[in-house]
Amino acid sequence: MKIAIIGTGYVGLVSGTCFAETGIQVTCVDIDHAKIDQLNQGFVPIYEPGLERMVNTNLEKGRLSFSANIQESIAGCEAIFIAVGTPPGEDGSADLRHVLTVAGNIGKYLEEYAVIITKSTVPINTAEKVRETIAEELLKRKVDIPFDVASNPEFLKEGAAINDFLKPDRIIIGTDSKRAEKIIHRLYKPFLLNGHPVISMDIRSAEMTKYAANAILATKISFMNDIANLCEIVGADINMVRRGIGSDPRIGNKFIYAGAGYGGSCFPKDVKALIKTGEDYQKPLRILQAVEAVNEEQKLVIAQKVKAHFNHNLNGKRIAIWGLSFKPETDDMREAPSLSIINTLSDAGATLRAYDPVAMKSAKNIMGQKVTFCDDRYEALIDADGLVLITEWSEFRIPNYRVMDKLMKEKVIFDGRNIYDSEEMQEYGFTYYSIGRPAVKPEES
Ligand code: NAD
């Protein structure tokens, strides 16, 4: 079986590589020629654990190839996935420019039956637009080539993308064609040995499922952040509250961690796009509007704590930053809370020295001169007046407090992810601020 994946970013590259792993012949296509050249040499331009090795194995076995030529790549394919970006447009709606450009190109070059599958996160009715766009091109060519469209939203998590793809919780197939459903089902069969379901539905429901999934996860995060801020005021501890409610299976213990707000390439743009869909259909989504507003404020909470600690004067203060990516195990900086925090602290006059295990290359392109990038976590602490922890990479969880003691000018930590134990911080002589928990000062000796 031969398939093509158009768009070779986080989703396209992981999907293509995982499909190739099952023996299918996969071509990943992109308009970014430099990226295609890199990939053909076995170099993976994103950080995703385990991906580079898998890409190289499948390249060597000849099952996976990379191309900038869509015409050659879709020839003889039974399934063509669209996995290009759907960034937010100016009004918050998903920008479908890339998706529809790809659909147009497929229409220009399709020669025999294929199912065209949108894997990009797209608003309701996009598969229909894809169908219309392809049909228009076929009409221009005066050819009558049968094809189907389908929606197959992707639920992988960056940082755990391969495992998520190889062992999915569920596969959603939205289509009105039995033939298309059968092809997609066949493609995913090797990944479903764990018994998790394929859920077939109509196209609109599949498109909505992806947005609803991300929206509810974002809602859980903003809800906990809202409660966390109230906890601080009333003298409660959000970590205790989290454990208290998370043990109830109706609530569950995932995605209820208070922190510096959600970021990344998906939640912010998908929440925005769903709000816009609600507006378009005169059905305002008030809960989601609040989720977004809470998140915007939450990204600034830790920076406000820094400012308050230094009496709103950060001139001459040297602040260390641990973690830049929007979450651990990725180099993705899109909508990372670190961007808002760093901008706020830098605008207030602080000198910033940052370290992140993998995201510094992507961060440098965005942050430029605002930050000095350091080679390791302790270098960032030299003469620091404080440390702000933004991304909870494993290597930050148990640092050597004695080394920190020697390096830092003032022993104060602002923990944007609540990873440290307040009592322990106090014992080691730190002033410690976190989210939704009382601040602690060093024990009097
Ligand atoms: P990305 O920005 O990493 O990659 C998109 C790729 O598409 C880029 O390499 C770009 O050059 C390429 N592209 C753009 N126009 C093209 C064209 N006309 N022809 C060929 N290639 C083209 O995006 P991503 O993070 O992989 O996300 C892709 C889609 O999947 C989005 O809709 C996103 O919301 C969704 N999604 C992402 C994730 C995630 O974790 N990143 C998870 C689930 C769903």
Query: Do 244 and 316 sit in the same domain of this protein?
Result: no
Q: How far is the CA of 73 from the centre of ligand 1 (A)?
A: 18
Cα separation, 172 vs 182, in Å, equals 13
Looking up tokens 């009715």 gives 125
Q: How far is the CA of 12 from the centre of ligand 1 (A)?
A: 7
Query: For residue 194, what pLDDT is reported?
Result: 82
Residue 193 has pLDDT above 90, yes or no: no
For residue 28, list its beta bridge partners: 5, 66
Cα separation, 152 vs 210, in Å, equals 9
Residue 103 has pLDDT above 90, yes or no: yes
386-431 pLDDT, tens digit each: 999 999 999 999 999 999 999 999 999 999 999 999 999 999 999 9
Amino acid (one-letter) located at 7: G
Query: For residue 443, what pLDDT is reported?
Result: 75
Query: Do 82 and 153 sit in the same domain of this protein?
Result: yes
CATH number for the domain that contains residue 308: 3.40.50.720
| Structure token digits, residue 316 | 């001459």
Residue list, ligand 1 pocket, CB within 6 Å: 6-12, 29-32, 35, 83-86, 98, 101-102, 120-121, 154, 156, 158, 265-266
Residue 444 has pLDDT above 80, yes or no: no
Ligand 1 atom at minimum distance from 122 CA? 32
Query: Do 10 and 126 sit in the same domain of this protein?
Result: yes
Query: For residue 369, what pLDDT is reported?
Result: 86
Cα-atom radius of gyration of the chain, to the nearest Å?
Answer: 24
| Structure token digits, residue 103 | 């659909």
Instruction: Indicate whether 206 belongs to any domain.
Output: no
Ligand 1 atom at minimum distance from 98 CA? 15
Ligand 1, atom 15: closest residue by C-alpha = 98
Query: For residue 172, what pLDDT is reported?
Result: 98
Cα separation, 138 vs 145, in Å, equals 7
| Structure token digits, residue 277 | 């869909």
352-366 pLDDT, tens digit each: 999 999 999 999 999
Pick from 26, 22, 15: which is nearest to 48 by CA? 15
Instruction: Indicate whether 205 belongs to any domain.
Output: no
| Structure token digits, residue 85 | 């970006």
Residue 161, C-beta contacts closer than 8 angstroms, at least 6 positions apart: 10, 14, 48, 51
For the segment 324-344, the average pLDDT, to the nearest whole number, is 96
Contact (Cβ atoms closer than 8 angstroms) between residue 110 and residue 75 = no
| Strand ordering across the sheet containing 371-373 | 371-373, 351-355, 318-322, 386-389, 412-415, 431-433
Query: Do 8 and 152 sit in the same domain of this protein?
Result: yes
386-389 and 2-6 strand pairing: unpaired
Cα separation, 247 vs 282, in Å, equals 38
Share of the chain above pLDDT 90, in %: 96
Instruction: Indicate whether 149 belongs to any domain.
Output: yes
Domain count, the chain: 3
Query: Do 41 and 159 sit in the same domain of this protein?
Result: yes
Pick from 12, 129, 13: which is nearest to 82 by CA? 12
Query: Do 236 and 282 sit in the same domain of this protein?
Result: yes
Query: Do 369 and 234 sit in the same domain of this protein?
Result: no
Query: For residue 445, what pLDDT is reported?
Result: 57
- Residue among 31, 39, 51, 84 to mutate when testing ligand 1 (max atoms within 8 A of CB): 84
For the segment 53-73, the average pLDDT, to the nearest whole number, is 98
263-307 pLDDT, tens digit each: 998 999 999 999 999 999 999 999 999 999 999 999 999 999 999
Whole-number mean pLDDT of the chain?
96
What DSSP designation does 184 have? H
For 386, the domain range is 299-444
Pick from 57, 82, 54, 64: which is nearest to 16 by CA? 64
Query: Do 292 and 304 sit in the same domain of this protein?
Result: no
Instruction: Indicate whether 265 belongs to any domain.
Output: yes
27-38 pLDDT, tens digit each: 999 999 999 999
Instruction: Indicate whether 403 belongs to any domain.
Output: yes
Instruction: Indicate whether 82 belongs to any domain.
Output: yes
Ligand 1, atom 41: closest residue by C-alpha = 10
Pick from 87, 74, 140, 171: which is nearest to 113 by CA? 74
Query: For residue 375, what pLDDT is reported?
Result: 96
For the segment 311-337, the average pLDDT, to the nearest whole number, is 96
Ligand 1, atom 44: closest residue by C-alpha = 154
Query: Do 145 and 276 sit in the same domain of this protein?
Result: no
- Predicted TM-score (pTM) of the model is 0.95
Instruction: Indicate whether 8 belongs to any domain.
Output: yes
Ligand 1 atom at minimum distance from 35 CA? 9
For residue 363, list its beta bridge partners: none
Q: How far is the CA of 156 from the centre of ligand 1 (A)?
A: 13
CATH number for the domain that contains residue 281: 1.10.1040.10
Cα separation, 55 vs 58, in Å, equals 5
Residue 7, C-beta contacts closer than 8 angstroms, at least 6 positions apart: 29, 30, 82, 83, 84, 85, 98, 102, 120
Cα separation, 30 vs 40, in Å, equals 12
Ligand 1, atom 8: closest residue by C-alpha = 9
Q: How far is the CA of 14 from the centre of ligand 1 (A)?
A: 11
Ligand 1, atom 27: closest residue by C-alpha = 85
Pick from 120, 203, 189, 196: which is nearest to 154 by CA? 120
- Residue among 5, 30, 93, 118 to mutate when testing ligand 1 (max atoms within 8 A of CB): 30
| Strand ordering across the sheet containing 147-151 | 64-67, 25-29, 2-6, 79-82, 114-118, 147-151, 171-174, 198-201
For the segment 183-200, the average pLDDT, to the nearest whole number, is 94
Q: How far is the CA of 425 from the centre of ligand 1 (A)?
A: 42
Banded pLDDT at 195 (limits 50, 70, 90): confident
Ligand 1 atom at minimum distance from 46 CA? 3
Query: Do 166 and 74 sit in the same domain of this protein?
Result: yes
Domain final residue, candidates 271, 297, 323? 297
- Residue among 11, 330, 332 to mutate when testing ligand 1 (max atoms within 8 A of CB): 11
Ligand 1, atom 9: closest residue by C-alpha = 9
Residue 68 has pLDDT above 90, yes or no: yes
Amino acid (one-letter) located at 375: D
Cα separation, 409 vs 439, in Å, equals 19
Q: How far is the CA of 54 from the centre of ligand 1 (A)?
A: 20
| Structure token digits, residue 123 | 């608003």
Query: Do 245 and 366 sit in the same domain of this protein?
Result: no
Ligand 1, atom 1: closest residue by C-alpha = 9
Ligand 1, atom 34: closest residue by C-alpha = 121
Domain final residue, candidates 174, 200, 226? 200
Instruction: Indicate whether 350 belongs to any domain.
Output: yes
Q: How far is the CA of 307 from the centre of ligand 1 (A)?
A: 37
Q: Which are the catalytic amino acids? A: 266
| Structure token digits, residue 421 | 């134990």
Ligand 1 atom at minimum distance from 86 CA? 32
Domain final residue, candidates 133, 168, 200? 200
Cα separation, 107 vs 231, in Å, equals 56
For the segment 379-385, the average pLDDT, to the nearest whole number, is 98
For residue 6, list its beta bridge partners: 29, 82
List phi, psi (to 5°) of 263: -145, -150
Query: Do 341 and 402 sit in the same domain of this protein?
Result: yes
